[in-house]
């Protein structure tokens, strides 16, 4: 089946540093989304992307829908301790059922004050 | 505003017992999704409903799993009989017109002994 390869698996950074993570696939996707999950909670939607090449920001977060429609990245600028958590990419595959999202395995972010 | 509500938050049961997980979607949302999250397999879509009708149940692992949505404000996921390998966190999510922008509940952590 279709898979999303999310990298890196984990990151340990210093407060104030910028962060970059990405998701790739061998298949085309119609939609890319980025979620954050805190321990003991459900994933929270950060950014949704609908068009190839689209670049969208949400505060210190910026995400892009790759021009090939096979990848997406998420950047976090000037990280702070509350950015700690697991970040997931998700996408709706081209030709798939509407709403049937595929999730990456997540990037665990740790921020050292 | 109330988000997606799930109950119970934690469930511990013995193998062979019936388990029922409950979900109340965000008011006005017309799509509801059930996911399972494990360390090994990540987040997997089990089934989703649109306007109370099951659209895609291809992710339901076995006949032991069943889901219903009797009305727009309530859904259940039932496992009968439960097995230790069903231990996971089960999430319910809902979405409105932008069906891919799914809002997750806090999850039910299920442990089957």
Mutate to test the interface with A, among B43, B88, B94, B108 (most CBs of A within 10 A): B43
CB contact under 8 A, B91 and A92: no
> d(Cα B42, Cα A54) in Å, to the nearest integer?
27
Residue A4's CB is within 10 A of a number of other CB atoms, namely 25
> Any chain A CB within 8 A of the CB of B45?
yes
> Closest Cα to residue B33, out of B90, B97, B98?
B90
Rounded Cα gap, residues B105 and A85, in angstroms: 17
**pLDDT tens-digit series, residues A45-61:** 999 999 999 999 999 99
Does the CB of A43 have a partner CB in chain B at under 8 Å? yes
Cβ of residue B31 closer than 8 Å to a chain A Cβ: yes
> A82 — phi, psi (to 5°)?
-75, -5
pLDDT at B1: 65
Nearest residue in chain B measured CA to CA from A92: B100
Residues of A in contact with B4 (CB under 8 A): 42
Say what the pLDDT of residue A98 is. Answer: 74
- Nearest CA to B99 out of A63, A43, A30 is that of A30
For B23-81, what is each residue's pLDDT tens digit?
999 999 999 999 999 999 999 999 999 999 999 898 998 899 999 999 999 999 999 99
For A32, the closest chain B residue by CA position comes to B100
pLDDT tens, residue by residue, A60-111: 999 999 999 999 999 999 999 999 999 999 999 988 777 789 999 999 999 9
**What string of H, E and C letters represents the secondary structure of A31-73?**
EEEEEEECCCCCCEEEEEECCCCCEEEECCEEEEECCCCCEEE
Do residues A27 and A94 make contact, with C-beta atoms less than 8 angstroms apart? yes
- Among the partner-chain residues B4, B31, B107, the one whose CB lies closest to the CB of A99 is B31
> Which distant-in-sequence residues (6+ apart) come within 8 Å of A32 by Cβ?
A23, A48, A49, A63, A65, A72, A89, A90, A91
Share of chain A above pLDDT 90, in %: 88
- Does A1 touch chain B if contact means CB atoms closer than 8 Å? no
Decide if A39 touches B, using CB distance below 8 A.
no
Contact B105 A42 (CB under 8 A): yes
- Judged on CB neighbours under 10 Å (0-12, 13-18, 19+), B84 is exposed
Across chain A, mean pLDDT equals 94
For residue A72, how many C-alpha atoms fall within 13 Å in the half-sphere facing its CB?
33
Among A42, A48, A92, select the one facing B104 at the smallest CB separation: A42
Hey, is the C-beta of B103 within 8 angstroms of any chain A C-beta? yes
Letter string b/e over residues B8-19, b meaning 16 or more CB atoms within 10 A of that residue's CB: eeebebeeeeeb
- Checking if the pLDDT of A1 tops 80, the result is no
């Amino acid at each position: 089946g279709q898979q999303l390869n999310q990298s890196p698996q984990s990151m340990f950074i210093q407060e104030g540093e910028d962060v970059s993570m990405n998701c790739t696939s061998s298949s085309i996707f119609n939609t890319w989304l980025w979620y954050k999950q805190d321990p003991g909670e459900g994933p929270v939607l950060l950014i949704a992307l609908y068009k190839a090449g689209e670049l969208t920001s949400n505060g210190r977060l910026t995400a892009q829908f790759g021009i090939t429609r096979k990848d997406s990245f998420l950047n976090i600028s000037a990280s702070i301790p509350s950015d700690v958590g697991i970040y997931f990419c998700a996408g709706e595959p081209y030709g798939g059922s509407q709403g049937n999202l595929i999730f990456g395995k997540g990037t665990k972010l740790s921020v050292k004050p | 505003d109330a988000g997606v509500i799930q109950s119970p938050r934690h469930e511990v049961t013995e193998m062979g017992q019936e388990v029922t997980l409950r979900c109340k979607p965000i008011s006005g949302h017309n799509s509801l999704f059930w996911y399972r999250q494990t360390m090994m397999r990540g987040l997997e879509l089990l089934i989703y409903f649109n306007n109370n009708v099951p659209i895609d149940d291809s992710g339901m692992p076995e006949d032991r799993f069943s889901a219903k949505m009797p009305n727009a404000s309530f859904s259940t996921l039932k496992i009968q009989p439960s097995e230790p390998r069903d231990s996971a966190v089960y999430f319910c999510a809902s979405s409105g017109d932008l069906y891919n922008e799914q809002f997750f509940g806090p999850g039910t952590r299920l442990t089957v002994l």
